Amino acid sequence: MKGKSILNICILLSYVLVAAVAQADATIINVDINGVGNYSSIQEAIDNAQNGDTILVSQGVYQENIEVNKELRILSHSTLSGDQNKTYVIGVIPKANVFGIYSSNVTIDGFYISGDPSGTDRYESGIYLEGVQNCTLSNNMLIQNDLGISLNGSQGNYIVSNLASLGNYGIFLVDSEGNVLSNNLVVTNNQGISLNNSANNTLMNNTAGSNAIGVFLKASQRNTFAYNLISKNEYGILDQAAESNTLVNNNLYLNDIGIYFNKSSGNTVYQNDFINLINAIDEGNNLWNSSSAGNFWHNYAVQDADRNGIGDAPYVINQTTGSIDYMPAVNETYPGIDGSENIINDSSTIIVLLNKKYSTNQQNTQEKTAVVEATDLGQVNTSLQEGPVFLRLGAEWCSKCQSMKPIINELAAEYEGKATIMSVDLDQNTELETYFGVEYIPDSFVIVGIEDGEYVYMQGDGNVSKDRYQARIVGLKDKRAFEKLLDLSLLNETGTNPDKEPHLQT
């Protein structure tokens, strides 16, 4: 690969700032409350925009209720500039949504959103999606809305890194399918995250705290919950007539009731941590362990004679309904836990548990937290034994590769202990350049395992492939594109995990 040819391609692939990527034929419309921009009203900018345009909103207080019926990116200038001054949108019409989204392919990013402050008898959303697909809501703060974010009959949307607080519902889905909720914080609501008659949604890395109900599932099926922190709620998770949902690797801490299955059956719960006043109530018929692992229960103190990490006796949730964890994790795995009820008042023990999935060796922890500079395939293969590997191929002279550095640093922090984030300087590693057949940079992809001597890659559609070209992401993209691949990789159960000493065809 010639440095000059890659430079030309890198220039051709140049994007606008990460959160303000626009189509080549689209327009960037500026909104400024002081009249400096193209418009002083967000709604006025929307009315005069075309599909594919980007609306960039300057800091200030915008008092309006907004309807979006075009394919637009509506971005707060503070998100792009890093300015601490917020862009506020405050609704002025009682019982009306602040943002009403009625078109697919809409992005709302970086706003502080609050409903009409007058009165308390309202039914409005900070951001409302109806019958839409492929919308992205990210980095928004939704305060004092009846519903922070609500989806009605909407599919395939991305709700990422939002804060919803001081409302009735933090995030509310009804009749909605195939959406991804990731890295959201929902605190001090009546219900944190609520799914009503919704299926096949994925909830990962969210935090639901200090709500009446952290997560509420009503008549919802086949949803996946993974790596969420659910703490200090009256009910951590409440399932009502919910079936075939999967809960894995969640932390349920300091809730009055960790999880309550009410008329719910066929759900699978394993590799979760339960440290609550009452850990679980099951009035249905649910599965509390996988074929290889159960859950950690703070009040389980049975011995592990064969030292396999699984207690010698099952943990019984409800003997009458047959709700039993047959493979509970033993307390010996987690230092400082004695199985007593007093653990829920021991903050130091909680801190230990919050960090228990990461290495206690300071050097190893530091290596996992930072982006790994890879120089050979051996590093990739070793890291694959611990989980997925995200690999970014680039060069120091490529401006887009440099712009991507903050993104991969953030990924390394977000996925610490779950995936390895690696970077390769191709000018220093021509063998890796040849092996991966690099033609354009930056070039990124996620490896999930090795099969028959070949790497297996995660594709954006959730499938895996040995064809890297089907799985790679070329150019500088929004961080959400890389998060999606990593989240899919963590949920992948294709049996492509590498061997202890994988051998790769070269």
Each residue's pLDDT tens digit, 283-323:
999 999 998 899 999 898 888 888 888 999 999 999 999 99
> Is the pLDDT assigned to residue 267 strictly greater than 80?
yes
Residue found under tokens 């690999």:
391
CA dist 233 and 405 (Å) reads: 37
CA dist 52 and 155 (Å) reads: 20
Give pLDDT, residue 30. 95
**DSSP states of 322-377 as a string?**
TEEESSPBPGGGSTT--S-GGGGG-HHHHHHHHTTTS-SSHHHHHHHHSPEE--SH
- Backbone torsions φ then ψ of 158, nearest 5 degrees: -120, 120
For residue 337, the SS3 value is coil
CA dist 280 and 81 (Å) reads: 46
CA dist 254 and 258 (Å) reads: 8
For residue 325, the SS3 value is strand
Give pLDDT, residue 177. 97
Closest residue by Cα to residue 32 from 84, 64, 77: 77
For 59-354, CATH number? Answer: 2.160.20
CA dist 216 and 198 (Å) reads: 11
Closest residue by Cα to residue 183 from 132, 215, 229: 229
Can you name the residues that pair with 285 across neighbouring β-strands?
none
Give pLDDT, residue 102. 98
Average pLDDT, the chain: 83
For 362-491, CATH number? Answer: 3.40.30.10
Please state, in angstroms and as integers, the Cα–Cα distance from residue 69 to each residue in 54, 99, 114, 263, 279, following that order: 14, 11, 21, 40, 45
The predicted model gives 189-193 an average pLDDT of 96
**DSSP states of 60-71 as a string?**
EEEE--EEE-S-
Residue found under tokens 């982006």:
371
Domain assignments of the chain as residue spans, ordered by start: 59-354, 362-491
Q: Give burial (CB, 10 Å; 0-12/13-18/19+) of 406.
A: exposed
Domains 59-354 and 362-491 share a fold: no
pLDDT for 340-355, tens place per residue?
Answer: 445 555 545 454 454 4
- Which pTM was predicted? 0.68
Give pLDDT, residue 196. 98
> Is the pLDDT assigned to residue 268 strictly greater than 90?
yes
Residue 481's H or E segment, with its range, is helix 479-491
Give pLDDT, residue 10. 40
How many Cβ atoms are within 10 Å of 474's Cβ, its own excluded?
Answer: 17
Q: Where are the beta strands (DSSP E) in 198-302?
A: 202-204, 207-209, 213-218, 224-226, 229-231, 235-240, 246-248, 251-253, 257-262, 268-270, 273-275, 278-282, 296-297
Question: What 3 state SS string does 428-475 have?
Answer: CCHHHHHHHCCCCCCEEEEEEEEECCEEEEECCCCCEECCHHHHCEEC
pLDDT tier, 262 (very low <50, low <70, confident <90, very high otherwise): very high
Distance of CA 302 to the CA centre of its chain: 35
pLDDT tier, 81 (very low <50, low <70, confident <90, very high otherwise): low
Can you name the residues that pair with 210 across neighbouring β-strands?
none
Give pLDDT, residue 116. 64
